[in-house]
Amino acid sequence: LNLGSMAVKPKKTAASDAEQISKLRASQSPIAISVNRCPTWTSLDPLKFKGYWDNVGSGILLNTGQTAYFTFETKSQPRLSGGPVIGEYIFEQMHFHWSVDDFTGCEHVLDGHGYAAECHLVHYNSKYESMEAAVAHPDGLAVVGFLLEAVDAPNPSFDKFVEGLDQIRKQDTAVQLPSQSLAWIDREDVTSGSYVTYKGSLTTPPYTECVTWIIYEKPVQIGTEQLGLLRQLEGAGSIPIERNVRPTQRHPPGHSVIYVD
């Protein structure tokens, strides 16, 4: 399969482009990716994020003991479509991975750059009844990943979210977040930003190969103090969660990662 040629083939429908991706071989996640070695796909429809910014109500932020886990309280959840996914995927939850330092907290590694944290927006395919049903299928989930880069100055668009983190230090505690708590997800950046995409797995047990991964190339900046609040979260035994990152996995033979510009 010569993916490099796909960018120059006559224009196909977006669905058939996405179908090509759905046939790609899955792998375990996360992986390290050399972005400039990925074939570039220019003919894909843009990714569409629906309901992320308009009318999204409040949410709940929970310390699960493994991560900070956010869900919307609204009945109608945000949706993801376009790009490499076929049909519509429904937002289920958002969570974070981090570490004690600013360079080993991300799961995916692009061009050898490590970052302080990685955020995952987990969506399940609307053709399945629930998240639980979806994970049993190779096209079950679409997870959007953002790499978080530590910088000195706080990023004000994280403020509401970070205030919430301060209140869930103990395991199994939760706090209600006001609407617009996800203001740090920039509409322009996600609609027109470049990303890499591949078929992979959950990064936590049971590591099921059910995920279309979409990892944005441009990291989101977060202040060191703001990161500190993530690192303060406690797991079992009131011990801070030091590291909740799976190491990068080997690419199986014939595995493909595609760059979408």
Q: What angle do CA 131, 134, 139 make, to 5 degrees?
A: 135
Q: Which does 22 bind (CB under 5 to 8 A by kind): ligand 1SD, Zn ion, none?
A: none
Our CB check for ligand 1SD shows the closer of 6 and 220 to be 220
Return the residue of 108, 120, 199, 231 that touches Zn ion, per CB under 5 A.
120
Measured in residues, the chain has a length of 261
Shortest reach from residue 210's CB to ligand 1SD, in Å: 9
Q: Is 199 in the site for Zn ion (CB under 5 A)?
A: no
Nearest CB to ligand 1SD, comparing residues 135 and 174: 135
Which residues ranging from 104 to 133 are in contact with ligand 1SD (CB under 6 A)?
120, 122
On the 0-12 / 13-18 / 19+ scale of CB atoms within 10 A, 1 is exposed
Q: Which stretch binds ligand 1SD (CB under 6 A): 38-46, 190-198, 201-209, 231-239?
A: 201-209
Contact 128, 140 (CB under 8 A): yes
**Which residue of 68, 147, 202, 215 would you call a contact of ligand 1SD, by CB under 6 A?**
202
Site for ligand 1SD in 57-96 (CB under 6 A): 95
**One-letter amino acid for residue 243 of the chain:** R
When the beta carbons of 120 and 231 are compared against Zn ion, the nearer one is: 120
Copy the structure tokens of residue 13.
């429908």
Nearest to 251 by CA among 30, 40, 27: 27
Task: Give whichever of 44 and 257 is closer to Zn ion, judged by the CB atom.
Answer: 257
Instruction: Identify each DSSP E strand in the chain by its residue range.
Output: 32-33, 40-41, 47-50, 59-63, 68-72, 79-82, 89-98, 109-110, 117-125, 141-151, 174-177, 195-200, 211-216, 220-223, 258-260
Residue 33, interface with ligand 1SD (CB under 6 A)?
Answer: no
Which spans of this chain sit near ligand 1SD (rule: CB under 6 A)? 95, 120, 122, 135, 143, 202-204
Which spans of this chain sit near Zn ion (rule: CB under 5 A)? 120
